[in-house]
Structure 1
Amino acid sequence: MENLILHVTFDLGVVPVRPEAGPVAAYDYNAAMLARATSAGVPDLFVGRELLAQIQYRNKVLAEFQAKLSRLREGSRRRRRLQAAKGRVLEKLDRRIRHMEHALTKALAELDRKEGIAVAVLGDLTGLRRSAGTGMKGKKANQKINQMAYDRLGSQQGYKNLMRGIRTIFLPEKYTSSTCYACGRRDPSSRRHRGHWKCRRCGFSLQADLNGAGNLLKFRLAKNVVGVPGPVSFHTIRHWRWDRRHNRFVHVSSRAGA
């Protein structure tokens, strides 16, 4: 029996989009954390460890099936049964992963709509996997980068924003992860242990992904990152985490989001 996939296309017609002069939200995608910074000074951190754990578990299950299949004779009855079981298990895990991705991008789009965001800025991650494969990053970072579906998340957030009248644009992430948001000094060594950013010149301290999202916001507002001070000051960070009971991302305390 063949596996069939149904693709459904919706014609939204002409969707009114808000003027670009309104508030801006910038996003920094990371494997275990997604950072959001707005021109109103509201920072958000979405903890994605549950999603990453599901992806890693799927890879582990796939490796176990492949190891068992390699020991069976091609065309044997046991091999066909194991192939069918592999398809069922992976399909269930893929549905769970896709649901979490859609829940994440929907939460982002709804947050933008409620706060009246006109433009959502996402990082252009073209060539990210290629640079990770050349040894520019460590082994664990390389593995996480190759596991996350950044393009799919970006396209999902884009069409959800369009349905809410929000424009989505992609800007290059060059120097955003190695530049201080507050003073504009480029210093990769200021990114400390466990994703913490502390500038060696001005002492500005922030979660590193939020620093990157702030620089994307700065690039949109000031057309530059290096040497430019932060255009807005950030308030208390809001944390969001996956709620297994309700199958969605919910607002939690800073301690629960750590």
Structure 2
Amino acid sequence: MQLVVQVKLLPTPEQASALTATLRACNQAATHAAAIAHAKNLTDRNGLQQEVYAELKAVFGLSAQPAVRVVKKVVDAYTTLKANLRAGNLGRPGSKRRIKAESKPVTFRPRAAQPFDDRCLSWQLDQQTVSVWTTAGRLKKVRFACSPETLKLLAAHRRGESDLIERDGTFYLMATCDVPEAGPYEPEYFVGVDLRAKLQKKRTKSARRRLKERRRREQRHVKNTNHIIAKRIVTEAQRTSAGIALEDLGGIRHRARLRKPQRVTLHSWAFAQLGEFIAYKAHRQGVPVVHVDPAHTSQTCCECGYIDKRNRVDQALFVCRNCGVVAHADRNASHNIAHRGAVVWNAGRESRVPAAP
């Protein structure tokens, strides 16, 4: 499986200036190439490269390999745009949003990420430095900082391109690592994870205001917290030989029937992020993961199976109208998800058993 790891660059002021100028030049070149691709309807990499390669070098000061990377970035951007159009993510055919997206070329922010391959960027992991091409020449011994675990991951599994990004005046490298997955084991039981618990807890007026005002620093804090939670869940499941059952939240944005203030919260909160983190960490460690239908998990009694929306008394309390069991609402939902996970796993296992001759 592929993982993307982040390291923080620690350039000198002169090196930082060169990196900023390089990002600006590459993104200006990418915007120019994107405009030509749009005007001439050039969709393939070879055709666009033949059209703009010489100009990217002569006008924008790019050397050969960075120019090639810029062309690929432009082609990838248009591929993503077309995929979003096909999926309907930019509105229906004829809508104002879709027409706007189709009628103008892709543009790139002055400090948007720029990919570098091993010809443009090399790593000296023992010294924790990198050597990187810039428009001011090759920068050598640019220091970087990362955790010991990340350093081991880079040394053993780094493959392909690394992206240079600048965020609030700080430079980072995002490196791709091709990590082998451990073989899954047969789980003794399943742990249910109620992913929508966080979403439900964020439906207050103050939460909506905070979500609207949240900046990238808070978003990074949320992401880091989800990483920590996911790691703890996967570690505990591995320690106890358990599998993990997650809610299948695909399409929930379209299925959920909420009032407008709640829809704002739903679309603002990265509610599926924790599930994604749990899934990839589990696959890496060989922990079995199944996705189950989340319908009525918060209204179903985990003891008797009785379903009634009145069972959910409030956000925290679950009281079954049939058998009278009293439980924490999130704990009850997680038990239902775990039970469905075991059913899904057993059904899949039975389908893999060869038929008797």
With the shorter chain as reference, the TM-score category is 0.5 to 0.7
Q: Which residue of the partner structure matches residue 167 of structure 1?
A: 288
How many residue pairs end up in the alignment? 174
Q: Normalization by structure 2: what TM-score? A: 0.43
Give the 3-state SS of the residue equivalent to 1:121 in structure 2: strand
Most deviating of 142-151 and 153-162 = 142-151
**Which of the residues 252, 255, 267 maps onto 1:146?**
267
1:192 counterpart SS class = coil
| Contact 1:26–1:217 (CA under 8 A) maintained in structure 2 | yes
Distance 1:213 1:25 in 2: 8
Name the counterpart of 1:179: 300
Q: What secondary structure sits across from 2:338 in the alignment?
A: helix
Relative to 1, partners in 2 of residues 1:153 and 1:194: Cα closer, same or farther, differing over 3 Å?
closer
Please tell me whether residue 28 in structure 1 is matched to residue 194 in structure 2: yes
Aligned-partner Cα distance in 1 for 2:239–2:208: 30
Higher relative contact order (CA 8 A, sep 6+): 1
Runs of 4+ in 1 over 6 A off after TM superposition: none
Match among 322, 329, 335 for residue 201 of structure 1: 322
Q: What's the counterpart of residue 18 of structure 1?
A: 185
Counterpart-to-counterpart distance in 1, 2:324 and 2:281? 38
| Match of residue 3 from structure 1 | 112
Seen in structure 2, the aligned counterparts of structure 1 residues 193 and 139 have a Cα distance that, compared at 3 Å, is farther
Whole-angstrom distance in 2 between the partners of 1:14 and 1:106? 16
Matches of 1:12 and 1:143, distance apart in 2: 37
Question: How far apart are the structure 2 equivalents of 1:31 and 1:148?
Answer: 12
**Aligned residue identity for 1:60:** E
Aligned CA distance change for structure 1 residues 204 and 147 (closer, same or farther; 3 Å)? farther
The amino acid that maps onto 1:17 is: P
Correspondent of 1:113 among 233, 238, 253: 238
Deviation at 1:182, TM superposition (A): 1.0
Cα distance in structure 2, aligned partners of 1:97 and 1:14 = 26
What residue identity is the alignment partner of 1:155?
E
TM-score by length of 1: 0.58
More helix by share: 2
Q: Is this contact kept in 2: 1:109–1:160, CA < 8 A?
A: yes
CA distance in 2, matches of 1:140, 1:213: 26
Q: Which amino acid aligns with 2:236?
A: L
Task: Give the letter for the 1:92 counterpart.
Answer: R
1:127 matched to 2:251? The reply is yes
* Distance of aligned partners of 1:179 and 1:91 in 2 relative to their CA distance in 1, 3 Å threshold: closer
Q: CA deviation at 1:131?
A: 2.6
**Structure 1 unaligned blocks of 5 or more:** 35-47, 62-89, 224-258
SS in 1 for 2:253: helix
Q: CA deviation at 1:122?
A: 0.1
Whether the aligned pair in 2 keeps the contact of 1:177 and 1:211 (CA below 8 Å) is yes
State the Cα distance separating 1:58 from its structure 2 match: 5.1
CA–CA separation in structure 2 for the residues paired with 1:104 and 1:208: 20
- Unmatched 5+ residue regions in structure 2? 1-109, 114-164, 166-172, 345-357
* Alignment correspondent of 2:226: 101
Residue 299 of structure 2 is aligned to residue 190 of structure 1: no
Question: What letter matches 1:3 in structure 2?
Answer: A
What RMSD, in angstroms, separates the aligned Cα atoms of the two structures?
2.8
Work out whether residues 190 and 199 of structure 1, in 8 Å CA contact, stay in contact via their aligned partners in 2.
Answer: yes
Aligned positions of 1:213-232 closer than 5 A: 213-222=334-343
Residues 139-175 of structure 1: CA deviation (Å, up to 9, x unaligned): 5544443333233222211111122220211111122
Contact 1:31 1:145 (C-alpha < 8 Å) held by counterparts: no
